[in-house]
Amino acid sequence: MTDYVIEARGLSKAYGDFQALKPVDFKVPLGRIVGVIGANGAGKTTMLNAVLGLMSFDGELSVMGLDPSKERGKLMQEVCFIADVATLPKWMKVAEVLDYVEGVHPKFNRSKAMSYLGRTKVPLDRKVRALSKGMTVQLHLAVVMSIDAKLLVLDEPTLGLDIIFRKQFYASLIEEYFDEDRTIVVTTHQVEEIEHILTDVIFIKDGDIVVDEDMETLTQQYIEVMVAKDNEEEAMALGPIYKGVSFGKSTCVYKNKDRETLAKLGETRRLGLADIFVATMTGEGQ
- 238 and 197 together in one domain: no
- 101 and 238 together in one domain: no
- 199 and 132 together in one domain: yes
Average pLDDT over residues 168-182: 86
- 245 and 126 together in one domain: no
Condensed to tens digits (0 to 9), the pLDDT of residues 59-80 reads: 999 999 999 999 998 998 889 8
- 185 and 257 together in one domain: no
Higher pLDDT, 171 or 96: 96
In a domain, 213, yes or no: no
User: Where would I find the H helices in the chain?
Assistant: 44-51, 72-75, 94-104, 110-117, 133-145, 163-176, 191-194, 215-221, 232-237, 259-263, 273-282
| 140: confidence class by pLDDT, cuts 50, 70, 90 | confident
- 133 and 224 together in one domain: no
CA distances from 258 to 73, 210, 222 (A): 51, 22, 10
Q: What is the CATH number of the domain that holds 237?
A: 3.30.70
What is the per-residue pLDDT for 2? Answer: 56
- 92 and 201 together in one domain: yes
- 20 and 103 together in one domain: yes
In a domain, 113, yes or no: yes
Average pLDDT value for the chain: 90
Distance of alpha carbon 183 from alpha carbon 180, whole angstroms: 8
Q: At 148, which amino acid appears?
A: D
DSSP secondary structure letters along 190-205:
-HHHHTTT-SEEEEEE
- In terms of residue numbers, what domain contains 132? 4-206
**How many distinct structural domains can be found in the chain?**
2
What is the per-residue pLDDT for 284? Answer: 55
Please check whether residue 151 is in contact with residue 82, taking contact to mean a CB–CB distance below 8 angstroms: no
Q: Which residues contact 278 (CB under 8 A, 6 or more apart)?
A: 242
| 1: confidence class by pLDDT, cuts 50, 70, 90 | very low
Higher pLDDT, 3 or 151: 151
What is the per-residue pLDDT for 286? Answer: 43
Q: What is the CATH number of the domain that holds 183?
A: 3.40.50.300
Average pLDDT over residues 16-28: 94
- 121 and 171 together in one domain: yes
In a domain, 212, yes or no: no
